[in-house]
């Protein structure tokens, strides 16, 4: 029976395993580092790393898509639907940037796209227009 392990490999002794386990939980001052559990505070180094993360700004986690600028949206095709009449209007991101500018809010662009082709005009301001739903 042959083994894939190198000839120099061997199982560490129990004393060596204890020493390795203790070394992993020791901080730079030689004291045991407390384990961080779900109810514990995260160390300040963790929060510094999170705040320095550039990609967190790019992802804009938790920010609704309609409040973003057109240039900040990662999708190539932008879609807005009307909750009133059920129409769906799509535009490529490049076309939206070219027509409305990179700093235009997607909410405003989507509303303009729906209003440009709206077929539900009654003449009353309260009832006219489409009700956008941003996908």
Identify the three-state secondary structure at position 28.
coil
User: For 50-84, how does the pLDDT look when each residue is reduced to its tens digit (9 = 90+)?
Assistant: 777 755 555 555 677 878 889 888 888 999 988 87
Number of Cβ within a 10 Å radius of residue 3: 7
Q: What is the pTM of this model?
A: 0.50
Q: Which residue has the higher pLDDT, 73 or 128?
A: 73
**pLDDT tens digits for 84-127?**
778 888 999 999 999 999 999 999 998 888 887 776 666 665 66
Who has greater pLDDT, 7 or 11? 11
């Amino acid at each position: 029976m042959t083994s894939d392990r190198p000839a120099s490999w061997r199982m560490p002794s129990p004393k060596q395993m204890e020493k390795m386990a203790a070394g992993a939980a020791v901080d730079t001052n030689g004291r045991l580092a407390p384990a961080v559990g779900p109810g514990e505070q995260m160390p300040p180094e963790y929060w510094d790393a999170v705040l320095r993360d550039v990609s967190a700004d790019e992802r804009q986690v938790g920010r609704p898509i309609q409040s973003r600028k057109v240039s900040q949206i990662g999708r190539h095709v932008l879609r807005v639907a009307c909750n009133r009449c059920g129409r769906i209007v799509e535009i490529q991101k490049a076309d939206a940037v070219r027509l409305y500018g990179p700093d235009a809010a997607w909410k405003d662009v989507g509303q303009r796209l729906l209003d440009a082709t709206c077929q539900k005009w009654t003449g009353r301001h309260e009832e006219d227009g489409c009700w956008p739903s941003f996908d």
